[in-house]
DNA sequence: TATTCCTGTCCTG
DNA sequence: CAGGACAGGAATA
């Protein structure tokens, strides 16, 4: 059992809920409705004690939003839990540079299970920390966006913004 | 082109 | 415990 502090802010894409334990950020949720985000948080951490933001948490919130608005800006300590497989996937995702994308099969290969592309997708979907673990940078082979936990449209906008901010050096 | 199998998790019966 | 559903992808008929 643990205590989780949380706060809801907003960015250019949507409302953002940031939640953290004493160890680090444990959830970053995207959505249009703050209440909906809180419901999601409760569902993810049914055994945790949720408390509102206290002094000093604003700093974490602003950092997370800064990363959402401008990926690659900084990193925060994370406190995420999952299966070994999921953690391997998330770690692999973290190696994708801002502005670039990888395919599910590439990630699968990177973690040593070349045939587990579908399982990789499942692990991405289970990612509790939007943007900080860049599951939006994973696309289907061929470059198509197939799906995104927080909306394909949001995924597209995130990628478009990253591509722009990382510099349109590709084939220009 | 349409099936079928593979893979890790989660949800339901 | 068994079966089905997924943000995929490759092989086979």
Residue A169 has pLDDT above 70, yes or no: no
pLDDT tens sequence across A30-46: 999 999 999 999 999 98
Q: Name the residues contacting strand B (CB < 7 Å).
A: A 82-86, 113, 115-119, 122-123, 126
Give the tens place of pLDDT for each residue, A42-70. Answer: 999 988 999 998 888 999 999 999 999 98
The predicted model gives A84-110 an average pLDDT of 96
* pLDDT score for A172: 46
Confidence of residue A163 (pLDDT cuts 50, 70, 90): confident
Place of tokens 């082979």: A141
Average pLDDT, stretch A142-166? 91
Give the active site residues of A: 135
Please give the nucleotide, over all strands, whose C1' is closest to the CA of residue A88. Answer: B8
A120 pLDDT higher than 50: yes
Mean pLDDT of chain A: 92
């Amino acid at each position: 059992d643990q205590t989780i502090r949380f706060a809801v802010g907003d960015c250019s894409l949507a409302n953002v809920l940031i939640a953290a334990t004493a160890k680090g950020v444990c959830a970053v949720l995207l959505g249009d409705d703050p209440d909906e985000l809180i419901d999601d948080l409760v569902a993810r951490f049914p055994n945790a004690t949720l408390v509102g933001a206290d002094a000093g948490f604003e700093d974490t919130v602003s950092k997370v939003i800064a990363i959402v608005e401008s990926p690659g800006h900084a990193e925060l300590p994370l406190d995420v839990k999952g299966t070994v497989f999921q953690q391997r996937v998330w770690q692999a995702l973290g190696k994708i540079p801002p502005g670039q994308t990888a395919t599910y099969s590439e990630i699968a290969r990177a973690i040593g299970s070349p045939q587990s592309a579908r399982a990789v997708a499942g692990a991405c979907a289970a990612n509790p920390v939007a943007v900080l673990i860049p599951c939006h940078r994973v696309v289907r082979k061929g470059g198509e966006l197939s799906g995104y936990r927080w909306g394909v449209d949001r995924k597209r906008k995130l990628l478009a913004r990253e591509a722009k901010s990382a510099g349109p050096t590709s084939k220009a």
